[in-house]
Structure 1
Amino acid sequence: MLLLFIGMFMDIISATLILTPIFLPLLDKFGINTMHFGLLMTINLGIGYCTPPLGVSLYISGARVHKNLLYVSRAVIPFLLIQMAILLLLTFCPDIVLLLPRLIYG
Structure 2
Amino acid sequence: MKYFKVLLLSLFLVIPAISQARITDGKDHIKLSGKKLVVTLEKGFHFVMESPAGLYMDGEMGSAEPVKKDTEKMIFDVSKVQDKSFTVSFYVCDDQKTVCESHEAHLKIQKNKLVKVEAEK
Q: Could you tell me the TM-score, scaled by structure 1's length? A: 0.26
Q: Which has the higher contact order (CA 8 A, sep 6+)?
A: 1
- Which of the two has higher C-alpha Rg? 2
Q: In proportion to residue count, which structure has more helix?
A: 1
